[in-house]
A and B are shown apart, each in its own frame.
Chain A
């Protein structure tokens, strides 16, 4: 996790480390939003079923919570290299070439996210300019959830930029270890080990 604390590019490493901590906190907040959605939806179902008075807005609010939680969770998932990548060719590449491919993949991912963030701004900007409100009982001003959603995307852009600079420096100096650590593919092996370990910890570890 504290990927770069040992290497010589101290400032960049510390920045990335800080970004990881912030992203992790954002991830917990996103998780909290999801849990809150679950509780509110349940309350809504119960109120509707037992008291015949729906609380209302559960679908709308949990939809906003969902959008915001995804955009904010993406940066930690990316830092953890959790995004699915196809390694059918990649696994046969020599170390140096695969490091270049890792870097290139990160650049192209950055391009897509940059486009996405750019046009997401248009959506929220239009809502702000037109003062659009949701077509629901709550009539939520749409720019509020939309800007919270975009803030997550902007943070993702910042994180990607940091990862990109760090791995570019490492690539140029021939530090392929660091390139792998910042943006390498998690192999199926690595993935499965993590899953298996989690499974074991769940059944054993907590079962004192």
Chain B
């Protein structure tokens, strides 16, 4: 049964059928093969139940929040301020890349959008200040991935829904690892630029009064962050309600910047609905497949087969890391998350791993997938922003940051408290 299902899934995906439909078709196929009852009929109820689930309403709202903020014109000013504060470090503006990405991540739930926005502002500086191109581009691609680890995060909402884990807890758990990972990225840049000072580019002149004056540009993103994440922990709002508050906050911000126009809003809504439809097709296909899989006993069989192998939890974690690293090389990240998480997490939780902690580890692995060739989407985004040169520059420059992500996972394994301290203290 496991083999049949695996082969059918690989054939369907290999035929490049849209992932959501491929998952659904696998469900349609497994039902007559292994079940006495016509389970297929359940797709109506399942898809309706999934489609009006209030927690999932957070997905379009968070995407919309990001789309509006992108268009509100705050990215450029924020980057300017970050560069004044961080560019004295060896590696100069590359630290601003990481810092601006981390801050942008605190308002946006998407990695690709973070890389595209910060990258657009930063890339002209490479030639102007004489940076090592490869490392600079790598810092943009990697910095962008912080978008899904630092709350709010669309991917964490999806993980929460798929595994019945509390989204507020996941958000809290993402904060410290997110900041720590940004710190590790910066450490990598400092190290590289101490070894090769020429990579670091020219210093940007900055004085304290300029620095403090620029702080005002950090207020809008921090305001949105406090509105969204703060309202959840103050007990005022659920994640979905917080997302709605964020959307309204972003609209007000855009209005103040005189960017709130009909065209702008229409474009933002169009982008939002396109992404939401695409995500929800996969979520519905996966929800249906999961129902079929547990009804015919495939999920239990998988879990018991794998736990029956008698692999120790630590080795299982190593296998998980390798599995996602390999899979991430040729699968789109959202599709990868939604297809694997319902199968992987029950196994890991049965082995004694904490679901919240596991969520953070998986998100970091998804970040890896975004910057590992051949199909790391962030690599392509950064590459298309610069228009010339070889893709290899971006891949090579991202490599040190992949190492830092793996170090982060090792740290989380040694000190689970990095992720779990905040959720236990406030949860």
Q: Which A residues are within 8 Å of any B CB, using their own CB?
A: 24, 27-28, 30-32, 34-35, 37-39, 41-42, 44-45, 49, 58-60, 62-64, 66-67, 69-71, 73-74, 76-77, 80, 82-90, 101-102, 104-105, 108-109, 111-113, 115-116, 119-123, 145-146, 149, 185, 188-189, 191-193, 195-200, 202-204, 206-207
Whether A59 lies near B54 (C-beta < 8 A) is yes
- Cβ A199 vs Cβ B381 within 8 A: yes
Judging by beta carbons under 8 Å apart, are A28 and B56 in contact?
Answer: no
Q: Are B41 and A122 in contact (CB under 8 A)?
A: yes
23 contacts between A and B (CB under 8 A): A27-B273, A31-B270, A34-B276, A59-B57, A63-B57, A82-B274, A83-B278, A86-B330, A108-B12, A109-B18, A115-B28, A115-B40, A116-B43, A116-B44, A116-B284, A149-B48, A192-B379, A193-B384, A199-B116, A199-B119, A200-B385, A206-B71, A207-B76
- Partner-binding segment picked from B155-163, B210-218, B233-241, B419-427: B233-241
- A112, B285: Cβ atoms under 8 Å? yes
Q: How far is the CA of A201 from the CA of B236 in the complex (A)?
A: 36
Contact check, B120 vs A206: say whether CB atoms are below 8 A apart. Answer: no
Closest CB-CB distance, A134 to chain B, in whole Å?
A: 10
Cβ–Cβ contact B15 & A105, under 8 A: yes
- Segment at the A interface, from B178-186, B242-250, B358-366: B242-250
Q: Is A116 touching B47 in the complex (CB atoms < 8 A)?
A: yes
Beta-carbon contact of A83 and B64 below 8 Å: no
- Residue with the greatest number of chain B CB neighbours at <10 A, chosen from A37, A67, A202: A202
Name A200's closest neighbour in chain B (CB-CB): B120
Contact A62 B57 (CB under 8 A): yes
B193 within 8 A of A: no
* Beta-carbon contact of A84 and B18 below 8 Å: yes
Quote the shortest CB–CB distance from A7 to chain B (angstroms).
Answer: 24
Q: How far is the CA of A62 from the CA of B59 in the complex (A)?
A: 12
Q: Is the interface of A mostly helix, strand, loop or mixed?
A: helix
Measured between beta carbons, the chain A residues less than 8 angstroms from B330 are: 86, 88
Q: Is A77's CB under 8 angstroms from B120's CB? A: no
State whether the Cβ of B80 lies closer than 8 Å to any Cβ in chain A.
no
> What distance in Å separates the Cβ of A111 from its nearest Cβ neighbour in chain B?
7
Q: Which residues of A contact B240 (CB under 8 A)?
A: 41, 59, 62
Stretch at the interface among B85-93, B316-324, B331-339, B406-414: B331-339
Give chain A residues whose Cβ lies under 8 Å from the Cβ of B231.
Answer: 45
CB pair A70–B51 under 8 Å, yes or no, is yes
* Selected interface stretch from B19-27, B197-205, B291-299: B19-27
Q: Does the CB pair B52–A67 fall under 8 Å?
A: yes
Please measure, in the bound complex, the distance between the C-alpha atom of A22 and the C-alpha atom of B25, giving whole angstroms: 28
B271 near A198 with CB under 8 A, answer yes
CA distance A187 to B389 in the complex (A): 19
Residue B341 CB within 8 A of the other chain: no
The 5 closest A-B pairs by CB, nearest first: A31-B269, A199-B116, A192-B380, A63-B52, A67-B51
Complex CA–CA separation, A34 to B268 (angstroms): 11
Docked pose: A149 CA to B266 CA in angstroms? 22
Give the residues from 1 to 60 in chain B that come closer than 8 angstroms, CB to CB, to chain A: 12-22, 24-25, 28, 40-45, 47-48, 51-54, 56-57, 60
Distance between Cα atoms of A105 and B18 in the complex (Å): 7
CB < 8 Å: which of A67, A80, A193 contacts B48? A67
Contacts of B381 in A (CB 8 A): 192, 195-196, 199
A191, B115: Cα distance in complex, Å: 14
- Enumerate chain A residues within 8 angstroms of B16, measured Cβ to Cβ: 85-87, 89-90, 101-102, 105, 185
By the criterion CB–CB under 8 Å, are B43 and A41 in contact? Answer: no
When chains A and B are docked, how far (Å) is the Cα of A17 from the Cα of B243? 35
